A = this chain, B = another copy of it.
Protein backbone atom coordinates (compact mmCIF):
# COMPACT_ATOMS: atom_id res chain seq x y z
CA UNK A 1 0.00 0.00 0.00
CA UNK A 2 1.52 3.31 -1.11
CA UNK A 3 1.65 6.54 0.81
CA UNK A 4 -1.27 8.72 -0.08
CA UNK A 5 0.29 12.11 0.46
CA UNK A 6 1.35 12.89 -3.11
CA UNK A 7 -1.85 11.80 -4.84
CA UNK A 8 -4.11 13.36 -2.31
CA UNK A 9 -2.63 16.83 -2.61
CA UNK A 10 -3.29 17.06 -6.36
CA UNK A 11 -6.19 19.42 -7.16
CA UNK A 12 -9.10 17.72 -8.89
CA UNK A 13 -10.79 20.80 -10.38
CA UNK A 14 -9.91 24.34 -11.47
CA UNK A 15 -10.90 27.33 -9.35
CA UNK A 16 -13.12 29.82 -11.19
CA UNK A 17 -10.23 32.23 -11.82
CA UNK A 18 -8.19 29.53 -13.57
CA UNK A 19 -11.09 27.88 -15.37
CA UNK A 20 -12.19 28.66 -18.93
CA UNK A 21 -15.29 30.62 -19.90
CA UNK A 22 -16.89 27.30 -20.80
CA UNK A 23 -16.39 26.02 -17.24
CA UNK A 24 -17.68 29.23 -15.74
CA UNK A 25 -20.77 29.25 -17.96
CA UNK A 26 -21.62 25.66 -17.08
CA UNK A 27 -21.03 26.30 -13.37
CA UNK A 28 -23.30 29.35 -13.42
CA UNK A 29 -26.02 27.35 -15.17
CA UNK A 30 -25.80 24.54 -12.61
CA UNK A 31 -25.79 27.04 -9.72
CA UNK A 32 -29.04 28.48 -11.05
CA UNK A 33 -30.49 25.02 -11.59
CA UNK A 34 -29.61 24.00 -8.04
CA UNK A 35 -31.11 27.21 -6.68
CA UNK A 36 -34.37 26.24 -8.34
CA UNK A 37 -34.03 22.60 -7.28
CA UNK A 38 -33.69 23.90 -3.71
CA UNK A 39 -37.39 24.79 -3.87
CA UNK A 40 -38.24 21.16 -4.60
CA UNK A 41 -35.95 19.90 -1.86
CA UNK A 42 -37.47 22.32 0.61
CA UNK A 43 -40.97 21.19 -0.38
CA UNK A 44 -39.90 17.58 0.19
CA UNK A 45 -38.29 18.34 3.56
CA UNK A 46 -41.34 20.30 4.65
CA UNK A 47 -43.63 17.46 3.57
CA UNK A 48 -41.88 15.17 6.02
CA UNK A 49 -41.43 17.60 8.90
CA UNK A 50 -43.98 20.43 8.92
CA UNK A 51 -46.77 19.99 6.40
CA UNK A 52 -50.26 19.82 7.93
CA UNK A 53 -52.01 16.52 7.08
CA UNK A 54 -54.68 17.97 4.78
CA UNK A 55 -51.96 19.62 2.67
CA UNK A 56 -50.55 16.32 1.39
CA UNK A 57 -52.45 16.17 -1.91
CA UNK A 58 -51.61 19.75 -2.82
CA UNK A 59 -47.97 19.20 -1.90
CA UNK A 60 -47.88 16.17 -4.18
CA UNK A 61 -49.00 18.38 -7.06
CA UNK A 62 -46.49 21.09 -6.12
CA UNK A 63 -43.67 18.55 -6.21
CA UNK A 64 -44.94 17.25 -9.55
CA UNK A 65 -45.08 20.76 -11.03
CA UNK A 66 -41.57 21.56 -9.83
CA UNK A 67 -40.16 18.30 -11.13
CA UNK A 68 -41.62 19.03 -14.57
CA UNK A 69 -39.95 22.46 -14.59
CA UNK A 70 -36.64 20.95 -13.43
CA UNK A 71 -36.80 18.03 -15.88
CA UNK A 72 -37.27 20.44 -18.76
CA UNK A 73 -34.14 22.33 -17.75
CA UNK A 74 -32.10 19.17 -17.06
CA UNK A 75 -32.81 17.85 -20.57
CA UNK A 76 -32.54 21.18 -22.39
CA UNK A 77 -30.44 21.71 -25.53
CA UNK A 78 -28.92 24.69 -23.68
CA UNK A 79 -27.42 22.41 -21.03
CA UNK A 80 -26.26 20.00 -23.73
CA UNK A 81 -24.41 22.86 -25.46
CA UNK A 82 -22.83 24.07 -22.22
CA UNK A 83 -21.56 20.57 -21.43
CA UNK A 84 -20.25 20.13 -24.99
CA UNK A 85 -18.30 23.38 -24.66
CA UNK A 86 -16.56 22.03 -21.54
CA UNK A 87 -15.96 18.69 -23.25
CA UNK A 88 -14.26 20.57 -26.10
CA UNK A 89 -11.75 22.36 -23.88
CA UNK A 90 -11.38 19.81 -21.06
CA UNK A 91 -12.56 16.38 -22.25
CA UNK A 92 -10.93 14.45 -19.40
CA UNK A 93 -11.90 16.86 -16.64
CA UNK A 94 -14.32 15.80 -13.93
CA UNK A 95 -17.06 18.24 -14.97
CA UNK A 96 -17.35 16.75 -18.46
CA UNK A 97 -17.78 13.29 -16.94
CA UNK A 98 -20.17 14.21 -14.14
CA UNK A 99 -22.38 16.53 -16.15
CA UNK A 100 -22.57 14.32 -19.26
CA UNK A 101 -23.46 11.32 -17.11
CA UNK A 102 -26.24 13.30 -15.41
CA UNK A 103 -27.52 14.66 -18.72
CA UNK A 104 -27.67 11.18 -20.22
CA UNK A 105 -29.46 9.80 -17.19
CA UNK A 106 -32.04 12.54 -17.58
CA UNK A 107 -32.51 12.13 -21.31
CA UNK A 108 -32.27 8.37 -21.79
CA UNK A 109 -35.70 7.67 -20.32
CA UNK A 110 -38.68 8.83 -22.39
CA UNK A 111 -41.04 11.17 -20.54
CA UNK A 112 -43.82 8.55 -20.73
CA UNK A 113 -41.71 6.01 -18.89
CA UNK A 114 -40.71 8.56 -16.24
CA UNK A 115 -44.37 9.29 -15.61
CA UNK A 116 -45.29 5.58 -15.58
CA UNK A 117 -42.59 4.97 -12.97
CA UNK A 118 -43.75 7.88 -10.85
CA UNK A 119 -47.33 6.63 -10.92
CA UNK A 120 -46.39 3.00 -10.27
CA UNK A 121 -44.17 4.08 -7.36
CA UNK A 122 -46.91 6.16 -5.87
CA UNK A 123 -49.45 3.31 -6.13
CA UNK A 124 -46.77 0.82 -5.07
CA UNK A 125 -46.05 2.72 -1.89
CA UNK A 126 -49.72 2.76 -0.89
CA UNK A 127 -50.12 -0.97 -1.65
CA UNK A 128 -46.92 -1.85 0.20
CA UNK A 129 -47.96 0.14 3.24
CA UNK A 130 -51.28 -1.71 3.33
CA UNK A 131 -49.71 -5.10 2.61
CA UNK A 132 -47.26 -4.65 5.46
CA UNK A 133 -50.03 -3.56 7.79
CA UNK A 134 -52.08 -6.66 6.88
CA UNK A 135 -49.05 -8.97 6.55
CA UNK A 136 -50.46 -9.84 3.12
CA UNK A 137 -47.92 -10.14 0.29
CA UNK A 138 -50.52 -10.68 -2.49
CA UNK A 139 -51.77 -7.10 -1.94
CA UNK A 140 -48.31 -5.87 -2.94
CA UNK A 141 -47.46 -8.53 -5.55
CA UNK A 142 -49.02 -7.01 -8.71
CA UNK A 143 -47.50 -3.63 -7.88
CA UNK A 144 -44.07 -5.11 -7.38
CA UNK A 145 -44.42 -6.99 -10.66
CA UNK A 146 -45.23 -3.76 -12.43
CA UNK A 147 -42.34 -1.89 -10.77
CA UNK A 148 -39.96 -4.72 -11.61
CA UNK A 149 -41.01 -4.65 -15.25
CA UNK A 150 -40.52 -0.87 -15.43
CA UNK A 151 -37.12 -1.18 -13.75
CA UNK A 152 -36.04 -3.83 -16.22
CA UNK A 153 -37.08 -1.57 -19.09
CA UNK A 154 -35.11 1.21 -17.42
CA UNK A 155 -32.04 -1.00 -17.17
CA UNK A 156 -32.25 -1.82 -20.89
CA UNK A 157 -32.47 1.88 -21.77
CA UNK A 158 -29.49 2.82 -19.61
CA UNK A 159 -27.52 -0.17 -20.91
CA UNK A 160 -24.97 -2.43 -19.21
CA UNK A 161 -22.07 -4.75 -19.98
CA UNK A 162 -22.79 -8.04 -18.26
CA UNK A 163 -26.07 -7.96 -16.37
CA UNK A 164 -29.14 -5.72 -16.14
CA UNK A 165 -28.73 -5.23 -12.38
CA UNK A 166 -25.53 -3.26 -12.94
CA UNK A 167 -27.37 -0.59 -14.94
CA UNK A 168 -29.58 0.20 -11.93
CA UNK A 169 -26.96 -0.18 -9.20
CA UNK A 170 -24.66 2.13 -11.16
CA UNK A 171 -27.20 4.96 -10.71
CA UNK A 172 -26.48 4.90 -6.98
CA UNK A 173 -22.79 3.94 -7.06
CA UNK A 174 -20.93 4.69 -10.27
CA UNK A 175 -18.71 1.87 -11.48
CA UNK A 176 -19.77 -0.62 -8.82
CA UNK A 177 -20.81 -4.03 -10.21
CA UNK A 178 -22.81 -7.01 -8.94
CA UNK A 179 -19.85 -9.27 -9.72
CA UNK A 180 -17.82 -7.31 -7.11
CA UNK A 181 -20.64 -7.14 -4.58
CA UNK A 182 -21.14 -10.92 -4.52
CA UNK A 183 -17.68 -11.77 -3.08
CA UNK A 184 -17.87 -8.72 -0.79
CA UNK A 185 -20.99 -10.02 0.90
CA UNK A 186 -19.71 -13.59 0.86
CA UNK A 187 -16.55 -12.50 2.72
CA UNK A 188 -18.72 -11.07 5.49
CA UNK A 189 -20.86 -14.17 6.05
CA UNK A 190 -18.59 -16.42 8.06
CA UNK A 191 -16.88 -13.76 10.24
CA UNK A 192 -20.17 -12.02 11.01
CA UNK A 193 -21.92 -15.23 12.02
CA UNK A 194 -18.91 -16.34 14.07
CA UNK A 195 -18.88 -13.01 15.93
CA UNK A 196 -22.65 -13.10 16.39
CA UNK A 197 -22.31 -16.54 18.00
CA UNK A 198 -19.79 -15.07 20.45
CA UNK A 199 -21.99 -12.20 21.65
CA UNK A 200 -23.25 -12.28 25.23
CA UNK A 201 -26.94 -12.36 26.09
CA UNK A 202 -28.28 -8.94 24.94
CA UNK A 203 -28.96 -6.40 27.67
CA UNK A 204 -30.08 -2.89 26.72
CA UNK A 205 -31.97 -2.13 29.91
CA UNK A 206 -30.11 1.16 30.51
CA UNK A 207 -31.04 2.47 27.05
CA UNK A 208 -34.69 1.65 27.73
CA UNK A 209 -34.91 3.79 30.87
CA UNK A 210 -36.78 7.10 30.78
CA UNK A 211 -34.62 9.57 28.79
CA UNK A 212 -36.19 13.01 28.81
CA UNK A 213 -36.94 13.96 25.20
CA UNK A 214 -35.89 17.61 25.59
CA UNK A 215 -32.62 16.36 27.09
CA UNK A 216 -32.11 14.07 24.10
CA UNK A 217 -32.49 17.04 21.78
CA UNK A 218 -30.07 19.20 23.76
CA UNK A 219 -27.50 16.43 24.04
CA UNK A 220 -27.77 15.45 20.37
CA UNK A 221 -27.32 19.03 19.17
CA UNK A 222 -24.33 19.46 21.47
CA UNK A 223 -22.65 16.31 20.17
CA UNK A 224 -23.10 16.96 16.46
CA UNK A 225 -22.19 20.65 16.80
CA UNK A 226 -18.92 19.59 18.40
CA UNK A 227 -18.37 17.00 15.67
CA UNK A 228 -18.56 19.76 13.07
CA UNK A 229 -22.16 20.16 11.93
CA UNK A 230 -22.74 23.90 11.42
CA UNK A 231 -26.13 25.03 12.74
CA UNK A 232 -25.60 28.44 11.14
CA UNK A 233 -25.97 26.57 7.85
CA UNK A 234 -28.35 23.86 8.99
CA UNK A 235 -31.14 22.68 11.27
CA UNK A 236 -32.41 19.67 13.17
CA UNK A 237 -36.13 18.81 13.10
CA UNK A 238 -38.35 15.89 14.01
CA UNK A 239 -39.78 13.44 11.51
CA UNK A 240 -41.10 9.86 11.33
CA UNK A 241 -38.42 8.39 9.03
CA UNK A 242 -35.24 10.39 9.67
CA UNK A 243 -33.13 11.70 6.78
CA UNK A 244 -30.67 14.46 5.92
CA UNK A 245 -31.44 16.85 3.09
CA UNK A 246 -29.07 19.28 1.43
CA UNK A 247 -31.69 21.90 0.55
CA UNK A 248 -29.62 24.66 -1.01
CA UNK A 249 -26.39 26.56 -0.61
CA UNK A 250 -25.47 26.77 3.10
CA UNK A 251 -28.71 25.05 4.07
CA UNK A 252 -28.44 21.40 5.14
CA UNK A 253 -31.14 19.89 7.32
CA UNK A 254 -31.00 16.93 9.67
CA UNK A 255 -34.06 15.15 11.00
CA UNK A 256 -34.47 12.72 13.86
CA UNK A 257 -37.05 10.89 15.93
CA UNK A 258 -37.27 10.84 19.72
CA UNK A 259 -38.31 7.78 21.73
CA UNK A 260 -38.29 8.39 25.47
CA UNK A 261 -37.57 4.73 26.20
CA UNK A 262 -35.00 4.04 23.49
CA UNK A 263 -32.10 6.45 23.64
CA UNK A 264 -30.24 5.13 20.56
CA UNK A 265 -33.13 6.12 18.27
CA UNK A 266 -32.40 9.84 18.43
CA UNK A 267 -28.84 9.71 19.74
CA UNK A 268 -27.24 7.57 17.05
CA UNK A 269 -29.85 8.60 14.51
CA UNK A 270 -28.86 12.25 14.90
CA UNK A 271 -25.15 11.44 14.71
CA UNK A 272 -25.81 9.32 11.60
CA UNK A 273 -27.65 12.13 9.82
CA UNK A 274 -25.02 14.63 10.97
CA UNK A 275 -22.42 12.44 9.24
CA UNK A 276 -24.35 12.96 6.02
CA UNK A 277 -24.75 16.62 6.95
CA UNK A 278 -21.08 17.32 7.66
CA UNK A 279 -20.26 15.82 4.25
CA UNK A 280 -22.99 17.86 2.57
CA UNK A 281 -21.97 21.12 4.25
CA UNK A 282 -18.36 20.63 3.19
CA UNK A 283 -19.07 21.46 -0.46
CA UNK A 284 -20.17 25.03 0.34
CA UNK A 285 -17.61 25.42 3.09
CA UNK A 286 -14.78 24.39 0.74
CA UNK A 287 -16.13 26.41 -2.18
CA UNK A 288 -16.70 23.64 -4.71
CA UNK A 289 -18.15 24.67 -8.06
CA UNK A 290 -21.87 23.86 -8.36
CA UNK A 291 -21.02 21.26 -11.02
CA UNK A 292 -19.11 19.12 -8.52
CA UNK A 293 -20.58 20.06 -5.15
CA UNK A 294 -22.08 16.72 -4.20
CA UNK A 295 -21.03 13.24 -3.09
CA UNK A 296 -20.16 10.83 -5.89
CA UNK A 297 -22.63 8.23 -4.70
CA UNK A 298 -24.71 6.79 -1.91
CA UNK A 299 -21.96 4.48 -0.69
CA UNK A 300 -19.65 7.43 -0.12
CA UNK A 301 -22.43 9.26 1.70
CA UNK A 302 -23.06 6.24 3.93
CA UNK A 303 -19.34 5.95 4.65
CA UNK A 304 -19.65 9.26 6.45
CA UNK A 305 -22.97 8.72 8.22
CA UNK A 306 -22.02 5.22 9.35
CA UNK A 307 -18.49 6.33 10.11
CA UNK A 308 -19.60 9.10 12.45
CA UNK A 309 -22.37 6.98 13.95
CA UNK A 310 -20.53 3.72 14.50
CA UNK A 311 -16.78 3.93 14.01
CA UNK A 312 -16.58 7.13 16.06
CA UNK A 313 -19.90 7.43 17.89
CA UNK A 314 -20.01 3.97 19.46
CA UNK A 315 -16.31 3.81 20.34
CA UNK A 316 -15.09 3.75 23.93
CA UNK A 317 -12.80 6.83 23.55
CA UNK A 318 -15.75 8.83 22.21
CA UNK A 319 -17.77 8.03 25.33
CA UNK A 320 -14.84 8.73 27.64
CA UNK A 321 -15.42 12.34 26.60
CA UNK A 322 -19.20 12.38 26.42
CA UNK A 323 -20.32 10.10 29.26
CA UNK A 324 -19.78 12.70 32.02
CA UNK A 325 -21.85 15.18 30.03
CA UNK A 326 -24.55 12.52 29.51
CA UNK A 327 -24.62 12.07 33.29
CA UNK A 328 -25.09 15.82 33.71
CA UNK A 329 -27.97 16.05 31.24
CA UNK A 330 -29.65 12.84 32.45
CA UNK A 331 -28.86 12.47 36.15
CA UNK A 332 -31.78 10.07 36.69
CA UNK A 333 -31.39 7.82 33.65
CA UNK A 334 -27.64 7.41 34.19
CA UNK A 335 -27.89 6.75 37.93
CA UNK A 336 -25.59 3.89 38.94
CA UNK A 337 -24.44 3.31 35.34
CA UNK A 338 -20.71 2.95 34.61
CA UNK A 339 -19.01 4.07 31.40
CA UNK A 340 -18.19 0.44 30.61
CA UNK A 341 -21.76 -0.72 31.00
CA UNK A 342 -23.01 2.12 28.80
CA UNK A 343 -20.46 1.45 26.05
CA UNK A 344 -21.27 -2.24 26.17
CA UNK A 345 -25.00 -1.61 25.79
CA UNK A 346 -24.65 0.74 22.83
CA UNK A 347 -22.60 -2.01 21.14
CA UNK A 348 -25.06 -4.82 21.79
CA UNK A 349 -25.33 -7.16 18.81
CA UNK A 350 -27.67 -10.01 17.99
CA UNK A 351 -29.47 -11.67 15.08
CA UNK A 352 -32.82 -10.04 14.36
CA UNK A 353 -35.34 -9.78 11.56
CA UNK A 354 -35.72 -6.05 10.95
CA UNK A 355 -32.96 -4.21 9.10
CA UNK A 356 -33.66 -0.73 10.40
CA UNK A 357 -33.39 -1.97 13.97
CA UNK A 358 -30.29 -4.09 13.34
CA UNK A 359 -26.95 -3.38 15.00
CA UNK A 360 -23.69 -2.56 13.30
CA UNK A 361 -22.37 -6.13 13.23
CA UNK A 362 -25.39 -7.94 11.83
CA UNK A 363 -26.45 -5.11 9.54
CA UNK A 364 -24.52 -6.17 6.43
CA UNK A 365 -26.14 -9.60 6.29
CA UNK A 366 -29.55 -7.93 5.92
CA UNK A 367 -28.25 -6.22 2.80
CA UNK A 368 -26.77 -9.47 1.49
CA UNK A 369 -30.24 -11.05 1.57
CA UNK A 370 -31.73 -8.13 -0.34
CA UNK A 371 -28.87 -7.89 -2.85
CA UNK A 372 -29.20 -11.53 -3.88
CA UNK A 373 -32.95 -11.29 -4.28
CA UNK A 374 -33.14 -8.03 -6.21
CA UNK A 375 -30.28 -9.10 -8.45
CA UNK A 376 -32.14 -12.33 -9.29
CA UNK A 377 -35.39 -10.45 -9.92
CA UNK A 378 -33.85 -7.81 -12.19
CA UNK A 379 -31.79 -10.38 -14.09
CA UNK A 380 -34.91 -12.50 -14.63
CA UNK A 381 -33.92 -15.41 -12.39
CA UNK A 382 -36.64 -14.93 -9.75
CA UNK A 383 -40.31 -14.11 -10.19
CA UNK A 384 -42.18 -11.90 -7.77
CA UNK A 385 -44.63 -14.64 -6.81
CA UNK A 386 -41.70 -16.75 -5.54
CA UNK A 387 -40.13 -13.85 -3.65
CA UNK A 388 -41.57 -14.49 -0.14
CA UNK A 389 -40.26 -18.05 -0.07
CA UNK A 390 -36.94 -16.93 -1.59
CA UNK A 391 -36.69 -14.24 1.11
CA UNK A 392 -37.16 -16.76 3.88
CA UNK A 393 -34.67 -19.16 2.30
CA UNK A 394 -32.18 -16.31 1.87
CA UNK A 395 -32.59 -15.23 5.47
CA UNK A 396 -31.99 -18.81 6.55
CA UNK A 397 -28.84 -18.90 4.41
CA UNK A 398 -27.37 -15.69 5.83
CA UNK A 399 -28.65 -15.76 9.41
CA UNK A 400 -29.65 -19.36 10.07
CA UNK A 401 -33.14 -18.12 10.95
CA UNK A 402 -36.51 -17.97 9.22
CA UNK A 403 -38.72 -14.87 9.68
CA UNK A 404 -42.01 -15.65 11.46
CA UNK A 405 -44.02 -13.54 8.97
CA UNK A 406 -43.73 -11.60 5.71
CA UNK A 407 -44.17 -8.46 7.73
CA UNK A 408 -40.94 -9.26 9.52
CA UNK A 409 -39.52 -10.49 6.23
CA UNK A 410 -40.03 -9.48 2.63
CA UNK A 411 -42.52 -6.69 3.40
CA UNK A 412 -40.40 -4.73 5.87
CA UNK A 413 -38.58 -2.26 3.59
CA UNK A 414 -39.96 0.64 1.56
CA UNK A 415 -37.32 0.65 -1.20
CA UNK A 416 -38.79 -1.77 -3.76
CA UNK A 417 -42.23 -0.20 -3.38
CA UNK A 418 -40.70 2.98 -4.82
CA UNK A 419 -39.01 1.12 -7.65
CA UNK A 420 -35.56 1.37 -6.07
CA UNK A 421 -33.58 -1.70 -7.11
CA UNK A 422 -29.80 -1.68 -6.74
CA UNK A 423 -29.86 0.71 -3.78
CA UNK A 424 -29.45 -1.70 -0.85
CA UNK A 425 -25.79 -2.68 -1.37
CA UNK A 426 -24.71 0.95 -0.98
CA UNK A 427 -25.30 0.64 2.79
CA UNK A 428 -22.67 -2.08 3.04
CA UNK A 429 -20.38 -0.26 0.61
CA UNK A 430 -20.60 2.63 3.07
CA UNK A 431 -19.39 0.37 5.87
CA UNK A 432 -16.63 -1.01 3.65
CA UNK A 433 -15.42 2.46 2.60
CA UNK A 434 -15.62 3.75 6.18
CA UNK A 435 -13.45 0.91 7.43
CA UNK A 436 -10.92 1.37 4.63
CA UNK A 437 -10.71 5.13 5.21
CA UNK A 438 -10.46 4.71 8.96
CA UNK A 439 -7.46 2.38 8.67
CA UNK A 440 -5.57 4.99 6.63
CA UNK A 441 -6.78 7.94 8.69
CA UNK A 442 -5.71 6.27 11.94
CA UNK A 443 -2.22 5.80 10.47
CA UNK A 444 -2.16 9.45 9.37
CA UNK A 445 -3.56 10.62 12.75
CA UNK A 446 -1.78 8.45 15.32
CA UNK A 447 -3.48 10.22 18.25
CA UNK A 448 -6.97 9.41 16.86
CA UNK A 449 -8.18 7.85 20.13
CA UNK A 450 -6.76 10.71 22.20
CA UNK A 451 -8.64 13.20 20.01
CA UNK A 452 -11.87 11.32 20.65
CA UNK A 453 -11.12 11.23 24.38
CA UNK A 454 -10.73 15.03 24.23
CA UNK A 455 -13.87 15.53 22.13
CA UNK A 456 -11.70 17.04 19.39
CA UNK A 457 -12.86 16.22 15.86
CA UNK A 458 -11.13 19.02 13.94
CA UNK A 459 -8.15 16.97 12.72
CA UNK A 460 -10.48 14.13 11.67
CA UNK A 461 -12.76 16.43 9.68
CA UNK A 462 -9.65 18.08 8.20
CA UNK A 463 -8.41 14.65 7.06
CA UNK A 464 -11.72 14.04 5.28
CA UNK A 465 -11.64 17.55 3.83
CA UNK A 466 -8.26 16.80 2.32
CA UNK A 467 -8.92 13.26 1.11
CA UNK A 468 -12.64 13.18 0.36
CA UNK A 469 -14.73 16.31 0.78
CA UNK A 470 -12.75 18.80 -1.30
CA UNK A 471 -13.13 16.59 -4.39
CA UNK A 472 -16.93 16.55 -4.37
CA UNK A 473 -17.97 14.44 -7.34
CA UNK A 474 -14.63 14.83 -9.13
CA UNK A 475 -13.85 11.18 -8.41
CA UNK A 476 -16.16 8.20 -8.05
CA UNK A 477 -16.33 6.40 -4.73
CA UNK A 478 -14.12 3.64 -6.09
CA UNK A 479 -11.56 6.13 -7.40
CA UNK A 480 -11.44 7.84 -4.00
CA UNK A 481 -10.80 4.49 -2.33
CA UNK A 482 -7.90 3.86 -4.70
CA UNK A 483 -6.44 7.33 -4.19
CA UNK A 484 -6.66 7.02 -0.43
CA UNK A 485 -5.66 3.39 0.13
CA UNK A 486 -3.58 2.77 -2.98
CA UNK A 487 -5.69 -0.31 -3.65
CA UNK A 488 -9.17 -1.38 -4.73
CA UNK A 489 -12.39 -1.58 -2.74
CA UNK A 490 -11.60 -4.20 -0.09
CA UNK A 491 -13.88 -5.78 2.47
CA UNK A 492 -11.07 -6.98 4.77
CA UNK A 493 -10.66 -3.71 6.73
CA UNK A 494 -14.35 -3.97 7.63
CA UNK A 495 -13.88 -7.58 8.74
CA UNK A 496 -10.87 -6.53 10.84
CA UNK A 497 -12.83 -3.62 12.32
CA UNK A 498 -15.80 -5.83 13.26
CA UNK A 499 -13.40 -8.39 14.79
CA UNK A 500 -11.77 -5.71 16.89
CA UNK A 501 -15.05 -4.20 18.08
CA UNK A 502 -17.11 -7.34 18.58
CA UNK A 503 -14.37 -9.95 19.05
CA UNK A 504 -14.04 -9.72 22.83
CA UNK A 505 -17.65 -10.79 23.51
Contact = CB atoms under 8 A, between A and B. Distances in A.
B35 A62 contact: yes
Interface string A302-345: 00000000000000000000000000000000000000000000
Nearest to A46: B42
Counting chain A residues whose Cβ lies within 8 A of the other chain, the interface size class is: 35 or more
Contacts of A66: 36, 39
A233 interface: yes
A248 B36 CA distance: 18
A64 B65 CA distance: 17
A55 B248 contact: yes
A251 B35 contact: no
B62 A235 contact: no
A35 to B, nearest CB: 4
Contacts of A250: 52, 54-55, 57-58
B55 A233 contact: yes
Contacts of A57: 249-250
Nearest to A49: B50
A249 B31 CA distance: 30
Contacts of A61: 31-32, 35, 249
A285 to B, nearest CB: 10
Q: How many copies of this chain does one complex carry?
A: 2
A274 to B, nearest CB: 14
A45 to B, nearest CB: 9
Nearest to A251: B55
Interface in A14-43: 31-32, 35-36, 38-40, 42-43
Given A50-B235, A69-B69, A249 B58 contact: yes
A52 B235 contact: yes
A103 interface: no
B234 A58 contact: no
A99 interface: no
B69 A251 contact: no
Contacts of A230: 54
A289 to B, nearest CB: 15
A381 interface: no
A231 interface: yes
A193 to B, nearest CB: 45
Contacts of A232: 52-54
Given A42-B43, A248-B59, A250-B57, A233 B52 contact: yes
17 contacts: A31-B61, A36-B62, A36-B65, A38-B43, A39-B40, A42-B43, A50-B235, A51-B251, A52-B232, A52-B234, A52-B235, A54-B250, A55-B248, A55-B249, A58-B250, A58-B251, A59-B248
Q: Would you list the 9 A-B pairs with minimal beta carbon distance, nearest first?
A: A55-B251, A58-B249, A54-B250, A54-B233, A35-B61, A36-B65, A58-B248, A39-B39, A38-B62
